Amino acid sequence: MVLLLPILLALLASVLGGLYMLGMFRKRRPNEPPLDKGTIPWLGYALDFRKNTAGFLRKMQKKHGDIFTIQIGGYYYTFVTDPLSFGPIVREARARLDFEKFAMELVARVFGYHSGTNDHKLLEKASTKHLMGDGLVLMTQAMMDNLQNLMLHGVGSVDREKKWQQDGLFNYSYNIVFRAGYLALFGNEPIKSHGNSEKAKKHDRDHSEELFGEFRKYDKLFPRLAYAVLPPKDKLEAERLKRLFWNMLSIKKTLQKENISGWITDQFQDRADNGMPEYMQDRFMLLLLWASQGNTGPASFWLLLYLMKHPEAMKAVSEEVDRVLKENGQEVKPGGAQINLTRDMLLKTPVLDSVVEETLRLTAAPVLIRAVKENLNLKISSGKEYAIRKGDRVAIFPYTAVQMDPEVHPEPEKFKYNRFLNEDGTKKSEFFKNGKRLKYFTMPWGAGTTICPGRFFAVNELKQFVFLMLSYFEFELVNPKEEIPDIDPNRWGFGTMQPTHDVQFKYRLRY
């Protein structure tokens, strides 16, 4: 009996410890948001969240209101669903609400990259210099040159004359925008290795096509890789793909290229100066590839599809494209010079800007997550303060919270090309909830310190692609009556959504 007691006590302690770890004892404390642990210990609502984030969060919002804490895979997430209350979360100091801890675990799992000190600062520095302001002039030119190589090579040759070609619109748009964006950032094949520029350009086309093919395999595995739920066979495939990208994008190979963007070279140099080993830099290149190319291609698909399904929008954008080209003395004609879109020209397109904004409102759905580093009080717009515990996470899902809120955006399911235009044709940025003006009325790029640093470049890429499609090609859906496909629910939370299936379209050169 004397011996049995300590054993029993130890057993009891480990059972209680286990239950504690599973979150069984957590109770809502005074001033805390409503707590909903779900029915499965530890997992909580992980399965519902992963199955359909948007549907699940809508249900929770209905049940609990503007703020609630739910258990997902052992963590407690406080979701704030009132867009008037986003400010304090987005602006809170990193010492209290930090994004990096959560992001570090994720990027280690999906890219094999372990970040160094000052990592985020270096990213910000390079992005401010090369993806915004004057840096964008150079990037816009690089994107244009590469789009032309991919879309217009062989114009004037017999086999490209006015023959209809058919493809999936998603595949076509993603392919072109991914490859052109990749070449613009990571550089071109040097002409001197091939003797002439045509051969080097052909190499760029072939190499980027191969990369895109492999990227799509990885892209399809990505959501389950991020959630760490890949079955063993797919896990092996994800590992194979990661290694392949580390090799294809390695610093050694990249530095042999021409026209490498300052965004890539500066980041490499800064990390080398910080003592990051080269193999880790190779892995960082995969992170940069995914961040820069995983969203813009799918967005370009939705953009073209919405235009094709909304003739009034297509007409308004086509007129704007023609006007901008004409004002700059450019015209697409047989045997004429290829058009060149500068960043300045792309600043004069309010209609296309509204179309891009509307497309992203409907299809970009990131989850923004911050780790709570110390106990804090969160004041929401109603004036009420909620206690948030250290060790939890605070999250925002702008898609359901604001982008699809009928009070903010009437008939939110509908694509309205001029939703972000005032009556006088200028950019509209006044949207209201409960009679109060919203700062965050659509958030495809996230917000605060983690706001997408590539957003200006991304918008330019989309606009350049549309300009070239409209001015050089006739294109239409193979079945004009085909409905816009649903959003694939597997990817909620990861940025631009993808469709459940592709839509066939045909295109041919105008001249």
**Binding positions for ligand HEM, rule: CB under 6 A:** 120, 123, 131, 291-292, 295-296, 299, 364, 366, 368, 444-446, 450-454, 457-458, 495-496
The first and second tokens of residue 45, run together, are 């609502």
Q: 138 or 291, CB closer to ligand HEM?
A: 291
**Is the CB of residue 394 less than 8 Å from the CB of residue 388?**
yes
For the four alpha carbons of 79, 490, 243 and 210, in that order, the dihedral sign comes to negative
**Is the CB of residue 302 less than 8 Å from the CB of residue 362?**
yes
Query: What is the nearest approach in angstroms of ligand HEM to the Cβ of residue 261?
Result: 9
Q: 107 or 321, CB closer to ligand HEM?
A: 107
C-alpha torsion 135→136→137→142, nearest 10 = 100
Q: 42 or 290, CB closer to ligand HEM?
A: 290
By beta-carbon distance, which residue lies closest to ligand HEM? 454
Query: What is the nearest approach in angstroms of ligand HEM to the Cβ of residue 136?
Result: 11
Query: What is the nearest approach in angstroms of ligand HEM to the Cβ of residue 394?
Result: 12
The first and second tokens of residue 71, run together, are 């258990």
Residue 85's CB is within 10 A of a number of other CB atoms, namely 21
Query: What is the nearest approach in angstroms of ligand HEM to the Cβ of residue 42?
Result: 25
Residue 81's CB is within 10 A of a number of other CB atoms, namely 24
Rounded CA gap, 50 and 224, in Å? 9
Query: What is the nearest approach in angstroms of ligand HEM to the Cβ of residue 177?
Result: 9
Torsion angles phi and psi, residue 383, rounded to 5? 100, -10
The first and second tokens of residue 447, run together, are 């917000």
Of the candidates 509, 386, 402, the residue with the CA atom closest to the CA atom of residue 446: 402
AA letter at 349 = T
Strands (E), 137-230: 165-168
Q: 120 or 125, CB closer to ligand HEM?
A: 120
Q: 123 or 388, CB closer to ligand HEM?
A: 123
Q: 223 or 446, CB closer to ligand HEM?
A: 446
Query: What is the nearest approach in angstroms of ligand HEM to the Cβ of residue 320?
Result: 20
Q: 43 or 57, CB closer to ligand HEM?
A: 57
Query: What is the nearest approach in angstroms of ligand HEM to the Cβ of residue 396?
Result: 9
**Residues with Cβ within 8 Å of residue 450, at least 6 apart in sequence:** 99, 103, 368
Q: Report how far apart the first and last C-alpha atoms of the chain are (Å, whole number).
A: 95
